[in-house]
Amino acid sequence: MKDHAFGSYCIFIYYGNHKTQPINARHLTPLTKPGKKCDNATGSDTLNSSQNNDLASESDMHDKTVDSSNPGGPYAPLLDYPKVWSAEQWLRWQKKLPWLRYENELLGFSVCSEIQKVAGVDKRGVHVSREWSQGIVSVGNKRKLKEKIYQHLSPGAHNMADETLKMKEKHTLQNCVQDANSHLFAETVRVFRTAYAAGKMNMPFTCQKTLIQLQEINGLDMGHVHRSDHSCAAILKHIATGMKKNLCAGIKGLSPHVALMLDESTLFKTAVIVLFLRTRLMEIDEIDACNSVENVFLGLVEATAGTTTDGVFSAVHSELQQNGFDDEWPKSNLIAICTDGASVMTGSKSGVAPTFVKNYGLRVETFHCLARRLELAVHDSLKSVNATYHFKIFISTLHSLFSQSPKNLRQPKDAACDTHTQLLNINGIFTIRWVSSSFRAVRAVWRNYGALFLMSQTAADDSKRSGTDRAKFRGMLDKLSTASFLMDLALMKDALRELSSLSLRLQSRTATIATSCADIAKTVRVFEAMKVAGGGKSVKVAQLACDAELEDERLFKSVKLNKRGKSGIHGGQFLTAIVDNLKARLSDGNSDLVSHLQVLDPALWPNDDSRLLYGEQSVVTLAKRLKLESRPTVEQFRKLKDGKQPESAIKKLMTAAATYPGTSAECERGFSTMNDIAWDKRNALHVQTVSDLMFLALNGPLLEKFEPLPYFRSWLEQGHRKSNTWVPGPHRVSHLDRHYDLIGKLLCQ
């Protein structure tokens, strides 16, 4: 109802879906006097002097008609506004300054907050108040509050903010940011690429300044900011955070089956857990989706609650939550967890793996790393055959003899040159390293046999050595000249070659539980055949001993062999021990699952009429276990056996089968990367920083394929500066600079 131009109005104030009691606006003073208009010609939200006077007089006016505590009545929702003003005064201020906000008894300007989020804005010469942009201005009395508002409403800040936001709405800034080759952003893009190269190659953060100076010498403009080690660390953290966010969002979008691989270690006396995901990384409809299952590094987590079951589970669960994988997602997608076999990880009742099964469902399979179990089987075989102990002691003696003395190491090199052989390093045998390391040690002794014999002979006759050293080398000389030791060496070389090959196949990134079990079964059959026919090197040495009728003709690599010495390792007993322990240690507890998965291997499909229905029951079991539709999967499996291309249902089953991991060797590769990043002279890195660098090293694209523009844009949106935002002052010449300058004058003559 309207009386006249400035008469009474009936005003309803809405709060969401609620309407307050009507306010009689008869006594409200108009915001502008008759005949005067707001100055909106420039599109600015600033106040002119006349408007300031109006607001000043209005703010001092007392409200006589509205209860300032609740203007809508006793039953209306409360209006939140500064208590030094009345409700009418607050509404007038908000109408004139729509970007004025009041929360938690603090004032702020939304336009100042928005301007901080806009990328590519040059704010030099204009100060945007941090207090007003963050909304942390305290409310005092009326006069001081008005002074704060008028003081902040300076011409430069809000004009720039308003114009910038209008430019943002027109997408002019967005188009400008996308031009990576423009002069405005080219320097920062180069700096980002430089920092990424430093992180990718595990270089110290302090190399950032040197690398930038090198590019400037080569003629590139690199700006004047982001040259310090702190800037390098901040840029790499920003890139790693953005990459991880995109990766996890992409994995969630694909909704694939996922397996967890985790292991525990220490970093600078801090317990840490490395976490990998094994999952499909392509849409299921793509042609090569069946070959897209990869191991993905997720993070290095600090075990702040200790390495107990609850502490490890809490750390892993927290890491999943931080990356956007809530509890419902693992319940739908997690199908396996693989650990190294430590008691805290695989305990039957209170281990980490059973805890995952308890929290995320019975379909989660738990795996003990097969590569670890292979090592345990080899050590069990050595313990069961006592004769192997003497062989191990002799190889370890060779390792310590040459690794601890530079003089002893130099003599085998000279002997190798005399015998025209390549000297290989002799490492320890059957230590905590993988079995392939033991094979390399035995192979080194085999190939350097002649050089070792010549070196031992020379050292035994060297009068400059002590009597103890000469006696030690004479013992080595007698050992190397016996045929029994050579037969033991040949037997170990044949056995360790097969075990090393199996270990490497189990540690392959493409290895699954099905392929790993098939490789183990094949290796067992090989050892059973070797018990009858013998290995390659064993047969060669045995034939050498039989063909040489006279002892003078029994030569191996120019070394005359004799039959003196104790009998060596019994070949049949040792090979039988290996077979028995492989079957005992590697008989998988997931045998039912493995038998079902093996029906997907085309090499096992029969070629007769039974091929049509072969494996269908296993396919149905797997489909139900993985929550897939059974009937479409079976029908597409039949088409697959007929030679047709796989369709979506059977591809989901095949990718899930490839997701089941056989080993946690990927975690060991992660620890190797961790040790390359954090070493004794780089021991001040935080665990999160090491995790970010590991993410870039293991998951980041190659340097030539890295595109820094998206990360640079998000960098600016977070309020960071470009690399050309200021010009530095004169460089202060240090004593070291003068030192190099003086020497450089002589070097350039």
- Does residue 24 have a pLDDT over 50? no
pLDDT band at 26 (very low <50, low <70, confident <90, very high): very low
Residue 264's SS3 state is strand
Mean pLDDT, to the nearest integer, of 119-137?
A: 58
Find which of 383-387, 519-523, 541-545, 584-588 is predicted with most confidence, using mean pLDDT.
519-523
Q: Is 254 exposed, middle or buried (0-12, 13-18, 19+ CB in 10 A)?
A: middle
Q: Is 77 exposed, middle or buried (0-12, 13-18, 19+ CB in 10 A)?
A: middle
- Does residue 81 have a pLDDT over 80? no
- Among 263, 183, 180, 246, which Cα is nearest to 220's? 183
Find which of 216-225, 243-252, 340-349, 402-411 is predicted with most confidence, using mean pLDDT.
243-252
How confident is the model at residue 182, as a pLDDT?
55
Distance, in Å, from the CA atom of 338 to the CA atom of 660, rounded to the nearest integer, reads: 9
List the strands of the sheet with 106-109, edge to edge. 100-103, 106-109, 137-138
How confident is the model at residue 693, as a pLDDT?
96
How confident is the model at residue 460, as a pLDDT?
86
- Does residue 174 have a pLDDT over 60? no
How confident is the model at residue 280, as a pLDDT?
95
Find which of 125-139, 173-187, 231-245, 535-549 is predicted with most confidence, using mean pLDDT.
231-245
Say which range, 123-127, 207-211, 264-268, has the weakest mean pLDDT.
Answer: 123-127
CB 343 within 8 A of CB 489: no
575-609: per-residue pLDDT in tens? 999 999 999 988 766 789 999 999 999 999 999 88
Buried b (16+ CB within 10 A) or exposed e, 184-215: ebbbbbbbbbbbbebbbebeebebbbebbeee
pLDDT band at 323 (very low <50, low <70, confident <90, very high): very high
Measure Cα distances from 385 to 379, 392, 510, 575, 578 in Å: 10, 12, 34, 10, 10
Distance, in Å, from the CA atom of 537 to the CA atom of 557, rounded to the nearest integer, reads: 14
How confident is the model at residue 203, as a pLDDT?
93
- Does residue 74 have a pLDDT over 70? no
| Phi and psi, residue 16, nearest 5° | 65, -115
Mean pLDDT, to the nearest integer, of 230-242?
A: 95
How confident is the model at residue 43, as a pLDDT?
40
Mean pLDDT, to the nearest integer, of 704-718?
A: 90
pLDDT band at 476 (very low <50, low <70, confident <90, very high): confident
411-439: per-residue pLDDT in tens? 665 555 544 444 455 555 555 567 888 88
Can you give the pTM of this predicted structure? 0.73
How confident is the model at residue 114, as a pLDDT?
61
How confident is the model at residue 386, as a pLDDT?
87
pLDDT band at 47 (very low <50, low <70, confident <90, very high): very low
Residue 575's SS3 state is helix
Distance, in Å, from the CA atom of 346 to the CA atom of 364, rounded to the nearest integer, reads: 13
Distance, in Å, from the CA atom of 608 to the CA atom of 602, rounded to the nearest integer, reads: 14
- Does residue 477 have a pLDDT over 80? yes
- Does residue 183 have a pLDDT over 60? no
- 736: tokens are 């070291």
Q: Is 626 exposed, middle or buried (0-12, 13-18, 19+ CB in 10 A)?
A: middle
Please give the single-letter amino acid code of residue 661. P
pLDDT band at 617 (very low <50, low <70, confident <90, very high): very high
Integer distance in angstroms from the first to the last C-alpha of the chain? 97
pLDDT band at 346 (very low <50, low <70, confident <90, very high): confident
The average confidence (pLDDT) of the chain is 79
Measure Cα distances from 450 to 130, 446, 481 in Å: 78, 9, 10
Q: Which residue has the higher pLDDT, 89 or 163?
A: 89
Q: Which residue has the higher pLDDT, 711 or 49?
A: 711
